[in-house]
Copies of this chain bind each other. A is one copy, B any other.
């Protein structure tokens, strides 16, 4: 259970890191959408390992093959099935982990839950499955683009180096100008230098990805449980290594009189946008912005104590090719999950009024 996301535009996902393939089904994509395969591949490339010195040197080409639901490059309204073959197997890297539980990994919990696990490359708990989200999210983005909605995510913090500027003061067209995907060139350099440093020590580092959705009209989001920001929170927290989410201005230390957004006109323009574009769980027409906290990835290149499934103490020396900082690769995943939430609520909103 738990491998389907969305109520109308639904993504179901399958696949282990080192199995035959990963894949998905999108059910509920409206008919008549032109598919831009280049865009999908571009998003996949932004996620894949081996794209820069910053990320893992694994070279997974992530060729997505569409099997149904698209006819002459147009969606037909029927389910879109797709697979990505797993090509670059180095399962032997993981043989040593067959019976051991890596610290802060899901090895132990999968074993306890299911009594069996595919230990190769983390199996289902590997972030490899996020490639499926990126494919589906890209299709969602194609639909949103037609509606005038655009989504931007970028790295805004790495360890203690923080981009203090608001997204309003950044040139979001520059996000991909550096391999870190931070649109402030100076901060980006600092952050990349820090990551390389950490990498040399075999350690890992976390940070924050910020995101903004522009052009969302008023009326998306459903009271009371499926608030737009509640679904965004779930979407983000479902991404590997995410520990926190907040949207709009951080207000825990401010007064109501300081943060209330004065409405200026019936179109919903406001003097400020501290609310982050959502009121009562429903979009109000302003930019939706939020940030997503990532922990340092658990796989470090240093020896660590642990136990095996006999309960014996073991020392884990990780080999393999791993990321010291997943943030640049997380950017397209955050965009994808944002798109999945928004497109689903767009479709839901079509049934709100007679």
CB neighbours (8 Å) of A258 from chain B are: 296
> Is B109 a contact of A280 with CB atoms below 8 Å?
yes
Q: Is A177 an interface residue when CB atoms closer than 8 A count as contact? A: no
Known A-B contacts A67-B23, A123-B76, A265-B311; A350 and B348 likewise in contact (beta carbons under 8 Å): no
Within 8 A of B (CB), among A35-80: 65-69, 71, 74, 76-80
Size of A's binding interface in residues, CB under 8 A: 151
CB neighbours (8 Å) of A65 from chain B are: 20
How far is it, in angstroms, between the C-alpha of A227 and the C-alpha of B240 when the chains are bound? 10
Within 8 A of B (CB), among A92-115: 101, 103-106, 108-110, 112-115
How far is it, in angstroms, between the C-alpha of A247 and the C-alpha of B246 when the chains are bound? 12
> Is A279 a contact of B105 with CB atoms below 8 Å?
yes
Partner pick for A77 among B113, B224, B284, CB 8 A cutoff: B113
Q: Looking at the complex, which of A165-173, A180-188, A204-212 is the stretch in contact with chain B? A: A204-212
Within 8 A of B (CB), among A205-238: 205-208, 218-219, 221-227, 229-238
- Mask, A292-326, CB within 8 Å of B = 1, is 01111111101011110111000000000000000
Known A-B contacts A31-B354, A229-B237, A233-B237; A304 and B113 likewise in contact (beta carbons under 8 Å): no
Partner pick for A5 among B146, B207, B225, B274, CB 8 A cutoff: B225
Closest residue on chain B to residue A71 by CB atoms: B118
CB neighbours (8 Å) of A226 from chain B are: 1-2, 238
- Mask, A257-274, CB within 8 Å of B = 1, is 111111111101010001
CB distance from A323 to the nearest CB of B (A): 10
